[in-house]
Amino acid sequence: MPGEIFVITAPSGTGKTTLLKSLMAADPRLRFSISYTTRSPRPGEVDGRDYFFVSPAEFRRLADTGALAEWVEQFGYGYGTSRQWVQERVDSGADLVFDLDSRGGRALKQEFPQAILIFILPPSLEELERRLHGRGRLDPEELARRLANGRAELQEVSWYDYLVVNDDLPTALADLQAIVRAARCRTAQLWPQLARRFLLENP
């Protein structure tokens, strides 16, 4: 049985990283899709766990040779998904969670139409700005860039499958878990497995 693909998008500062950590910790069937990036690791980030951190030259080589299923340049850095890495894990039945911007979500959905796209919203733009400030570590220019980019990302919500508002953290986490659970109950996902129990030969 092929694995599920969950794509999560949110304006920077919404709380996506916080939510994803809790989601993944509580569900051992989920695996995080590790992207390539040319940005430097933040404190606490580990190469091969949070991202594959590569040089701009290496990133360019990967993009030019078609090794990336999708890639974007944003905030002056390259971000991209390895086609082979994803395909191998989906084929082996892993449920993959992708942290992508909306362009990445759109591109991945084209390549993997079964992908489930989830957009996480902040409760308001004011709260988004507060959270970005609270997270620290960003210089004012990058902060402004991320806020402007986040506003632009909000234009893309209409073609996402699900919206989750991250106001109260436990509620948002429960919403995400409900989406994952519902996805696993889809007929297309379950019936090929269950049909055998009922001795049907052509599910």
Residues that bind ligand 5GP (CB under 6 A): 12, 35, 39, 70, 72, 74, 79-81, 99-101, 103-104
The site partner of 122 among ligand ADP, ligand 5GP, none (C-beta below 5 to 8 Å per kind) is: none
Of 118 and 173, CB closest to ligand 5GP: 118
How far is Cα 36 from Cα 51, in angstroms, rounded to an integer? 6
Residues 164-193 that bind ligand ADP (CB under 6 A): 166, 169
Per the listing, tokens 């569900």 go with 27
The site partner of 103 among ligand 5GP, ligand ADP, none (C-beta below 5 to 8 Å per kind) is: ligand 5GP
Q: What are the residues facing 82 on neighbouring strands?
A: 68
Three-state DSSP at 96 gives strand
CA dihedral 144, 145, 147, 149 (to 10 degrees): 160
CA dihedral 146, 83, 58, 141 (to 10 degrees): 0
Smallest distance, ligand 5GP to C-beta of residue 77, A:
7
The site partner of 101 among ligand 5GP, ligand ADP, none (C-beta below 5 to 8 Å per kind) is: ligand 5GP
Of 13 and 104, CB closest to ligand ADP: 13
DSSP E strand stretches across 1-64: 5-9, 30-32, 35-37, 51-53
Sort strands 95-99 and 5-9 into parallel, antiparallel or unpaired.
parallel
Select from 131, 150, 176, 179 the one that contacts ligand ADP (CB under 6 A): 131
Give the residues lining the site for ligand ADP (CB under 6 A): 10, 12-18, 131, 134-135, 166, 169
